[in-house]
Amino acid sequence: MGARPSFPVVGPGFARRTRARSGRRRAVREGRLRGVAVRSGRRRLLFADESEASVRDLAAMMLTISDNTATDLLAARAGLDRVAATLAELGLAGTVIPCTLREMLDAVGREAGLAGWAELAAAPDMGERLRGPLRAIHTIRTTPADMARLLRLIWRGEAGPEEACAAVRELMARQVTRQRLAMGFPHDVRVAAKSGSLFGVVRNEIGVVRLPDGRRYAAAVFTRAERPYVNEHAINAAIGAAAAAAVQALRGEC
Q: Is residue 53 part of a domain?
A: yes
Structural domain including 31 reads: 8-78
99: in domain: no
Same-domain check for residues 69 and 147: no
Alpha-carbon dihedral 212, 63, 230, 147, rounded to 10 degrees: -70
Residues 169 and 242 in one domain: yes
Pick the last residue of a domain from 57, 78, 99: 78
pLDDT of 48:
65
Calculate the CA 58 to chain-centre distance.
12
Sequence-ordered alpha helix ranges (H) in the chain: 55-65, 68-78, 80-89, 101-111, 117-122, 126-129, 144-155, 162-173, 232-250
Q: From first to last of its 254 residues, what are the pLDDT tens digits of the chain? A: 333 322 223 333 322 323 333 333 333 343 444 443 334 343 334 456 666 778 898 999 999 999 998 999 999 999 999 999 999 999 999 999 999 999 999 999 999 999 998 999 899 988 888 877 778 878 999 999 999 999 999 999 999 999 999 999 999 999 998 999 999 999 999 999 999 998 888 999 999 999 999 999 999 999 998 888 889 999 999 999 999 999 999 998 76
Neighbours of 80 (CB within 10 A): 13
Residue 110 included in any domain? no
The alpha carbon of residue 112 and the mean position of all alpha carbons in its chain are separated, in whole angstroms, by 23
69/150 same-domain check: no
Instruction: Determine the Cα–Cα distance for residues 239 and 231; give it in Å rounded to an integer.
Output: 13
Among candidates 208, 199, 209, which has minimal Cα distance to 232? 199
CA nearest 87: which of 154, 167, 150, 161?
150
34 falls within a domain:
yes
Residues 6+ apart with CB under 8 A from 103: none
**Do 64 and 157 reside in the same domain of the chain?**
no
Query: What's the pLDDT at 134?
Result: 74
Considering the domain architecture, whether residues 68 and 174 belong to the same structural domain is answered as no
The total number of structural domains in the chain stands at 2
What is residue 219's predicted lDDT score, i.e. its pLDDT? 98
Q: Give just the sign of the alpha carbon dihedral 107, 109, 114, 119.
A: negative
Q: Output the CA torsion sign for 208, 211, 213, 218.
A: negative
Instruction: Note whether residue 251 is domain-resident.
Output: yes
Do 71 and 165 have their domain in common? no
End residue of a domain, out of 52, 78, 104: 78
**87 domain-assigned:** no
Indicate the residue type of 218: A
The pTM for the full model equals: 0.79
User: Which of 78, 101, 119 is the last residue before a domain boundary?
Assistant: 78
Residue 202 lies in a domain: yes
Residue 136's pLDDT is: 81
CATH number for the domain including 207?
Answer: 3.40.710.10
Q: For residue 33, which of 67, 83, 79 has the smallest C-alpha distance?
A: 67
Looking at the structure, tell me whether residues 170 and 72 fall in a common domain.
no
With respect to residue 60, please indicate whether it lies within any of the assigned structural domains: yes
